[in-house]
Amino acid sequence: MKQKILKILKQNPSSFVSGQKISEQFGVTRAAVWKSIKQLQAAGYEIESETKNGYKLISCPDLLTSSEVMPYLKKSCFPHQIIHFNQLDSTNNKAKELAEHGEPEGTVVIAEQQTQGKGKVGKRWISAPYKGIYMSVILRPELDFSGSSLLSLLGCVAVGKALLPFGCSVQFKWPNDVYVNEKKLCGILTEGSGEIDQLDYLILGIGINVNQTRQDFSKSLLSKASSLKIELGYRVSRQKLTAAILSEFEIQYHQLKQNGSAKEALDFYKNHSNIIGEKVLLQRNKQQTVEAKVLDIDQFGQLTVQYHDGSIVAISSGEITVQNTSPNFT
């Protein structure tokens, strides 16, 4: 009922809508309408009420609910639904739980805050409440586990393309980080379940620093990470950006499913890569680090590198951590 009332108020942004009209349209009592209005106000919606005129929507809260994000989506078929939470331990954890219970592809889990947000290699993603975008998408691709590398790249490309209108200098650090002005802005984390040759589902987790201020970062992080607000100097609509990312991802994902390849997305990714042609350290684990030169990113999203002995190999995102460095070899 709340969402139906909210919709009719949004359709009449400059005028009052009478409680009688709402009750008749939805077949409920005036008391039920009043109760729903109170619930919307408690959720942060500013709604003016006048005895003889009814209700008028003045402003909406900066929340990533379905009713606030869906209107900005370019496509109607994806996502199927947005499930919103004020707080979760991790959107990936919740999305995996829902996927296990059969939630369809395209379901999006969004939280205003994460208490145990996940980064790569077990690191924690700091999730300032109501300032970032923390969401996970349930996917059911017809791919094996190696396809998760490619889907991570598609997530990066979706974020990168959504940021282009802001004039950001976007760079990608393989496999799943998005940088702006040489500082980390976004991380992508994929987690899958299924057989080796066929994924049952894959969770695409996206964490973006949007409206954090410098005070939201520790001194050690300020030199490495940033937010859109810090870089642009103004507050960004989280709702519009969330919708833009989901819309862009749908385009890239649809092309992959339809064509069996992601050439356009890969070209975009490689054009904005900050490690192709660079000498790097490949950290396979805490004990083993290997020097190499990055040659390319292949059609599967794997990193193509050359070792000292001239051998060329493809590295998947699940095997290593890449760190920019300056090893002494040509």
Q: Is the pLDDT of residue 122 over 70?
A: no
Residues 201 and 306 in one domain: no
Query: 291 and 163 in one domain?
Result: no
25-29, 51-55, 135-139, 326-330 — most confident range: 135-139
Residue 327 scores a pLDDT above 60 = no
pLDDT at position 326, please?
47
* 6-30: average pLDDT: 92
Domain boundary among 271, 293, 316: 271
Q: Is the pLDDT higher at 97 or at 146?
A: 97
One domain, residues 119 and 103: yes
Residue 13: inside a domain: yes
Q: Domain check: are 127 and 168 in the same one?
A: yes
Confirm whether 330 is domain-assigned.
no
User: Both 14 and 55 in a single domain?
Assistant: yes
Q: Which of 24, 41, 59 is where one domain is finished?
A: 59
Residue that finishes a domain, picked among 27, 59, 91: 59
Q: What is the pLDDT of residues 74-91, one digit of tens each?
A: 766 566 789 999 999 999
Let me know if residue 83 belongs to a domain: yes
Question: Same domain for 178 and 72?
Answer: yes
Mean pLDDT over residues 217-226, rounded?
90
**% the chain with pLDDT above 90:** 62
Residues 47 and 72 grouped into a single domain: no
Give the pLDDT confidence score for residue 120 in this predicted structure: 57
Provide the CATH number for the domain around residue 27: 1.10.10.10
The boundaries of the domain holding residue 309 are 279-324
Flag whether 75 is in a domain.
Answer: yes
CATH number, domain with residue 315: 2.30.30.140
* Residue 189 sits in the same domain as residue 307: no
Tens digit of pLDDT for each residue in 24-40? 999 999 999 999 999 99
Rounded mean pLDDT, 149-155: 92
Which CATH number covers residue 152? 3.30.930.10
The number of distinct structural domains making up the chain is: 3
Asked if 286 and 232 sit in the same domain, the reply is no
**Residue 130, number of CB atoms within 10 A of its CB:** 14
Are 241 and 169 found together in one domain? yes
- Domain-located, residue 70: yes
Quickly count: other Cβ atoms within 10 Å of residue 57's Cβ: 21
- 203 and 80: one domain? yes
Residue 197's pLDDT is 78
pLDDT tens, 263-293? Answer: 999 999 999 999 999 888 887 666 678 888 9
Residue 292 maps to a domain = yes
Residue 311 maps to a domain = yes
Please check whether residues 10 and 155 belong to one and the same domain: no
Whether 329 is covered by a domain: the verdict is: no
